[in-house]
Amino acid sequence: MSKDREAIMDSIKQATESGARQSQACEVIGISAKTLQRWSYPDNAQDSRQTAVHHPVNKLTSFERKRIITIANEPAYEHLPPSKIVPKLADTGRYIASESSFYRVLKAEKQLKHRESSKPAKRVNKPKALTATAPNQIYSWDITYLPSVVKGVFFYLYLVMDIYSRKIVGWQVYEEESSALAADLMTDICQREAIQRQQVILHSDNGSPMKGATMLATLQELGIIPSFSRPSVSNDNPFSESLFRTLKYRPEYPDKPFEDLAAARLWVQGFAEWYNFEHLHSAIHFVTPNQRHQGDDEEILAKRKEVYLLAKSLHPERWSCGIRKWDRVKVVFLNPEKYKSEKKLNKVA
């Protein structure tokens, strides 16, 4: 008997011995006289609700469970889920158990995972986190469509950027997607930037021009290390995606399709010059990509900081929260494990 039940019964006993009626004492405590009477029986010393064992009347027998397992592993059904086994059995005039019973039994036997006769889904790991601390260490590239006047026909913009400086280090517009054309572009970039073997990692998505035999052979010859995004995961190549968005949302981006290949190349040339030499990029503290690529950003940001400190010294009451942060961004991550790690490293640097 539980201690709570004993205490209640003792309290009622003391009340009745003092002259109170049992029914009134039960009412005060909050139980019925019938409950008190039931508790008084010797065979009701324990709360039967805690020891009750219920057996469903429709519970499968051991034989029925074994039969389900046997049938589910027959050659005709071993590759099928219960949702297909049950109707197939019904087509042969047999009903063994419901779909839920099949699922429950197979799950208990650990035979439910991937019964379909197809290859299991492959787990694709996130690309390794890469770190750039100077220009010409990590490039990101991709291809985007530029519309032509012929419906359904596009020009293809190949664009390579340095993720550290955000500079467009190379671009070209062609009439087709081709691994060979991409290889020619990378060869030209390496010559202009004087890239040494094993100096640059080139990140891209999994498109055929990126993983084509000619491109991969050229990268090996140039000593460039390839890196690839997960299939259909654009977030693994964020720098190129962001650059394409900037390109296509420029006010100067044509409202109408490009007349021909020359027109497309001329427009992209103007965009690349603006982006590299005029655009103050927010992620690198509002210097141009070319200034950062050349290493001029450190001096520019230091001078800005001096201007702000002087302004604060003249009117300190206007600078309750300190001056704006103009420190150089020294570390740039591609696909970091945690976004906070990038901010923390730059803060320490």
Same domain, 170 and 228: yes
Number of domains in the chain: 4
User: Same domain, yes or no, for 335 and 278?
Assistant: no
Query: In whole angstroms, what is the distance from residue 295 CA to residue 200 CA?
Result: 18
pLDDT of residue 43: 61
Which position has the token pair 């995972």? Answer: 113
> Do 159 and 295 lie in a common domain?
no
Whether pTM exceeds 0.85: no
Across-strand partners of 203?
140, 227
d(CA 6, CA 343): 64
Within 8 A by CB and 6+ apart from 82, the residues are 72, 99, 102, 103, 106
Q: Is the dihedral angle over the CA atoms 247, 341, 132, 331 positive or is it negative?
A: positive
246 and 327 together in one domain: no
193 with 272, same domain: the answer is: yes
pLDDT at 205: 87
Q: Mean pLDDT across the chain, nearest whole number?
A: 87
276 and 230 co-located in one domain: yes
Check if the beta carbon of residue 233 is closer than 8 Å to that of residue 206.
no
Phi, psi of 21 (to 5 degrees): -80, 140
For residue 196, give the nearest of 140, 133, 139, 136 by alpha carbon.
136
Rounded Cα–Cα distance for residues 269 and 274 (Å): 9
* 142 DSSP β-pair partners: 159
**Residue 60 pLDDT > 90, yes or no?**
no
| 57 domain residue, yes or no | no
Question: Structural domain of residue 144, as residue ranges?
Answer: 130-282
Q: Is residue 116 part of a domain?
A: no
pLDDT in tens, 251-279: 999 999 999 999 999 999 999 999 999 99
| Cα–Cα–Cα angle for 259, 263, 265, rounded to 5 degrees | 135
- In whole angstroms, give the CA distance from residue 110 to residue 223: 49
Q: How far is CA 133 from CA 273, 332, 333, 345, in A?
A: 24, 7, 9, 11
Kindly state whether residues 149 and 236 are assigned to the same domain. Answer: yes
Tens of pLDDT, residues 174-226: 999 999 999 999 999 999 999 999 999 999 988 888 989 999 999 999 999 99
DSSP 232: T
The residue ranking higher by pLDDT, 23 or 45, is: 23
* Residues forming beta bridges with residue 147, ordered by sequence position: 154
* Model pLDDT, residue 254: 93
Tokens of 113: 């995972």
For the stretch 100-110, pLDDT in tens is 999 999 999 88
- Do 94 and 144 lie in one domain? The reply is no
Residue 200: partners with Cβ closer than 8 Å, 6 or more residues away: 136, 137, 138, 139, 190, 224, 225
